[in-house]
Amino acid sequence: MLSRLLPVLMLLAGALPAVAIAASDALIDPAVLDSPAFLAGHPDLRFRREGFAAYDRGRHRSAVEAFRKAARYADKPSQGMLAEMYANGDGVPADPALAWAWMALAAERGPAWAEARREAYLARVPASELARADALFAEMLGEYGDEVARPRLATHLRRAARGNTGSRVGGSAPRRVQLVSGDGVREVRDVDFDDPRYWEPERYFALQDAEWARFRGGD
């Protein structure tokens, strides 16, 4: 069974009921997150959502594959979910050393609660596995660490902005869309799919960090 970090990460996945669509504290408008075109330009969010959808259906191996894809784009919630799944043996053999390596990646740029969880995971690694845990983390940095994963995402964001929304980013009026809540209530309002903070890499990274820092993990 996953620890209390799972509900936190599900919130980060955008896996919210439709009735919460107008939540004023959302960092990315849920209507934006539901746009296929937006998700096509944000592989971190797209694969994270696919991972949670697979997990929710009990397809844990598929969830691991999706979270790994999101993790290549510096998605810290997905890296945290992989840590949880390897810690608990959900769809994969339980592996405390690999769980710690994923949590160390998830806490690579904080926040403090994730760093504390990284240390808690380290305490679970048997002494005989500590060297292997260090080696795994060093190897994984070359594929999933921020130094390589953030530039990978930045390239994708720039390409998507040029190809799909580039002529609009920062210069178009918000689009009016119809939203339907879980109780059938309809709402028509402006949604700014082309907000530059969703597409300009440095601004988007700041949004990622703000999202990740808002939540706390369980023990």
Residue 92 burial by Cβ neighbours in a 10 Å radius (0-12, 13-18, 19+): middle
Query: What pLDDT was estimated at residue 149?
Result: 97
Query: What pLDDT was estimated at residue 152?
Result: 97
Query: What pLDDT was estimated at residue 131?
Result: 98
The answer, yes or no, to whether residue 218 has pLDDT greater than 50, is no
% residues pLDDT > 90 (the chain): 55
The answer, yes or no, to whether residue 115 has pLDDT greater than 80, is yes
44-95: pLDDT as tens digits? 999 999 999 999 999 999 999 999 999 999 999 999 999 999 999 998 999 9
> Which among 16-25, 112-121, 179-188, 207-216 has the top mean pLDDT?
112-121
Both tokens of residue 132? 């292997």
CB under 8 Å, gap of 24 or more: what pairs does 174-179 form?
A: 177/31, 179/18, 179/21, 179/22, 179/31
Instruction: Give the mean pLDDT of 34-53.
Output: 90
Query: What pLDDT was estimated at residue 33?
Result: 80
Cα–Cα nearest to 14, from 26, 3, 24: 26
| Of 53-67, 81-95, 108-122, 168-182, minimum mean pLDDT range | 168-182
Both tokens of residue 148? 């390589």
What DSSP letter does each residue of the chain carry, written as one string? ---THHHHHHHHTT---GGGTT-TT-SS-HHHHT-HHHHHT-HHHHHHHHHHHHHHTT-HHHHHHHHHHHHTTT-HHHHHHHHHHHHHTSSS---HHHHHHHHHHHTBTB-HHHHHHHHHHHHTS-GGGHHHHHHHHHHHHHHHSHHHHHHHHHHHHHHHIIIIITTTTTTSPPEEEEEE-TT--EEEEEE-TT-GGGTSHHHHHHHHHHHHHT-----
CB contact at 8 A, 144 and 67: no
Chain mean pLDDT for the chain: 80
The answer, yes or no, to whether residue 158 has pLDDT greater than 80, is yes
Q: Cα separation of 77 and 165, whole Å?
A: 26
| Of 46-60, 128-142, 193-207, minimum mean pLDDT range | 193-207
Is pLDDT larger for residue 129 or for residue 16? 129
Query: What pLDDT was estimated at residue 174?
Result: 54
pLDDT level of residue 219 (50, 70, 90 thresholds): very low
| Integer angstrom CA distances of residue 75 from 153, 156, 180, 211 | 10, 14, 29, 11
The answer, yes or no, to whether residue 192 has pLDDT greater than 80, is no
Query: What pLDDT was estimated at residue 176?
Result: 53
